[in-house]
Chain A
Amino acid sequence: MRQRRILPGFGLSMGITLCYVAVIVALPIGALVFKAASLGPEDYWRIVTSARALASYRVTVLSAAAATAFNLVFGLALAWALVRYQFPGRRLIDAMVDLPFALPTAVAGIALTTVFASNGWFGSFLASMNIKVVYTPLGIMVAMAFTSLPFIVRTVQPVLEDLDPALEEAAQSLGSSDLNIFRRVILPLLTPALLAGTSLAFARSLGEFGAIIFIAGNQPMETEITALLAFIRLEEYDYPAAAAIASVMLFAAFVMLAVTNYLQARALRYTAR
């Protein structure tokens, strides 16, 4: 079969794309996997299941889960308010939802630490109630919640905007209460987007580094996240351990990517074409 292209530029555009993807993306990932694989199964297993590593997984996963759960509630409320209500400052808030994406994570880290420090604006108030945020897992959660806030808002918002008012009207005409309409009509329609946003937010929280290290205190076994452990192993020149731990994070990222892909494909289920 003759394979010819109608539009010009296939060779050039494909060449640039493949070069970039190969050198910038595939090569380093391949090198990391290669390095981790060259460890041998016993060494590898010993490193990734060491007590300190396991503690770091626990802190990271639990904090990410808590932050994501908070964002699930707050993100849905925020999206709802932005789409359904008119109030002063609505557009400003709508724009500022993107701040956590636009603000460098290191800047977010020192700002959050300062605000929540025991002598900070909120920290001093919380300290009077005996709640400590900075240098505790709660601080990690706050940093994760901040950096992953936009994901759920921005996935739910468009779905909520496109929701046909006729669906609610139909439910009302059938005699349903508001709470029932929300539970049985609106929420099921939002669920795919909520799930997709949740998985994105969770994945982001698992990999977050910059915002967390300032607020976390970084006590091994207590407030040390996995990303930091990999970084510390590097600084100790323990390259095999760094490679092994980084490969665990890479694996988690692939799993989350697959989950997100699946959930987003499902999110398109109700989209009529």
Chain B
Amino acid sequence: MTSRKPPRVGDSPTFRRFLIAFVLIVGTLLIAAPLAVIFAQAFSKGWPTFASTIAHPDTRHAIFLTVVTALIAVPINTVFGIAAAWALTKFDFRGKRLLTILIELPFSISPIVAGVAYLFVYGLQGLFGPLLQSADIKILFALPGIVLASMFVTAPFVARELIPLMQAQGRDLEEAATSLGASGWRTFFYVTLPNIRWAMLYGIVLCNARLMGEFGAVSVVSGNIRGQTNTLPLHIELLYHDYQTVGAFAAASILTVLALVTIVAKVLLERQGAGRHHGSALAGPVAVSQDTTR
């Protein structure tokens, strides 16, 4: 037997069909078509061309550089995210709001502005430029600059997953563990971490996706030296402007697969309960309430 329910607002068949059709059509135009065109272009000259583009030393170096950047920046970012969440949720101190805003700030700032800003720290015209040059330390137009700029744009990713979750979980579990005699590290690894691991992984996955795809900030600080400081997104631009369309899309298809894997991972992690403590999806401030009265 099927239970009949009175219709809710917007449940009339005509409106329903119209709205679903609208959503499907615009969704196809705006999301599915760009996705399809990437692969269509990448394989337009057949598999051998695709394979040879990917195998080109410059492309391979770009992939290598992107992976190395992620391998350095993502772990540091994760440690920062955990530390920030621990400091902000396990203790009360003055300036909590301000610190939260500072952590969230990179989400609001254009990557180009971030890149320009880094230039004025480490570039020749910047604060430390002359000093660095006399010491023969290369930060800009080299790996350190790329890593630093990437860390700026992805700074909030792990922290913003952990802060609301740990805020909601409160301090009881850690206090219980401590009252039973557990040390700080023990409490963190045996009590806190198992309860935040999915949210942390969620943050890491999103951080990694954004980091490997970052274009604006990195293009300012990398100097675009082919085969040396070109990350994969920069290499795509280079190939595209060289009218090597197939090559550009072949390289783009790698990042597209990464994006799709990220989305699948995101859906799977959301089933584990990660990502639920958001006011909004992927940006916006985290509310930190101060719990003082007991």
Contact = CB atoms under 8 A, between A and B. Distances in A.
Determine whether A and B are in direct contact in the complex, meaning some CB atoms lie less than 8 angstroms apart: yes
Contacts of A124: none
Contacts of B33: 115, 121-122
A218 to B, nearest CB: 12
A150 B87 contact: no
Contacts of A77: 19, 22-23
B279 interface: yes
B22 A31 contact: no
Contacts of B41: 114
B235 to A, nearest CB: 9
Contacts of A7: 90-91, 171, 174-175, 178, 184, 187
Nearest to B92: A5
Interface in B27-44: 27, 29-35, 37-38, 41
Contacts of B109: 29, 207, 249-250, 253
A253 B116 contact: no
Contact of A85 (B20, B175, B184, B282): B20
Interface residues of A, number: 104
Contacts of A98: 263, 266, 281-282
A81 B51 CA distance: 41
B187 A84 contact: no
Given A210-B233, A249-B110, A239 B125 contact: yes
Interface string A230-245: 1100100001001100
B263 A168 contact: no
A20 interface: yes
Contact of B83 (A17, A111, A228): A17
Contacts of A145: 30
A246 B113 contact: yes
A1 B99 CA distance: 24
Contact of A110 (B119, B183, B214, B249): B249
Given A110-B252, A207-B109, A31 B280 contact: no
Nearest to A35: B120
B161 interface: no
Nearest to B110: A207
* Majority secondary structure of chain A interface residues (helix, strand, loop or mixed): helix
Interface in A180-232: 181-182, 186, 196-197, 200, 203-204, 206-210, 214, 227-228, 230-231
A21 B80 CA distance: 9
Given A85-B19, A102-B209, A253-B108, A13 B279 contact: no
Nearest to A246: B116
* Majority secondary structure of chain B interface residues (helix, strand, loop or mixed): helix
A89 B27 CA distance: 11
B280 A28 contact: no
A107 B256 contact: yes
A131 interface: no
A105 B116 contact: no
A74 B19 CA distance: 10
Q: Which size class do B's interface residues fall under?
A: 35 or more
B229 to A, nearest CB: 15
B8 A165 contact: yes
B27 A78 contact: yes
A178 B31 contact: no
B142 interface: no
A84 to B, nearest CB: 6
Contacts of B93: 14
A44 interface: no
A80 B10 contact: yes
A112 interface: yes
Contacts of B219: 231
Contacts of B19: 77, 80-81, 85
B121 interface: yes
B213 A106 contact: yes
Contacts of B282: 98, 101, 150-151, 154
A6 B236 contact: no
Contacts of A110: 236, 240, 248-249, 252
B259 interface: yes
Contacts of B125: 35, 239
Nearest to B90: A7
Contact of B233 (A25, A95, A107): A107
B155 A20 contact: yes
A99 interface: yes
Interface in B183-206: 183-184, 187-188, 206
A32 B113 contact: yes
B144 interface: no
Contact of A104 (B101, B112, B233, B281): B233
18 contacts: A7-B91, A7-B174, A9-B188, A13-B84, A25-B155, A29-B109, A84-B10, A85-B16, A85-B19, A105-B216, A106-B237, A110-B240, A209-B110, A214-B240, A231-B220, A239-B119, A239-B120, A267-B279
Given A104-B232, A104-B233, 7 more contacts: A16-B79, A24-B155, A155-B279, A200-B283, A260-B284, A261-B285, A264-B279
Which 8 A-B pairs have CB atoms at the shortest separation, nearest pair first? A104-B213, A154-B281, A207-B110, A8-B184, A28-B117, A210-B215, A16-B83, A111-B34
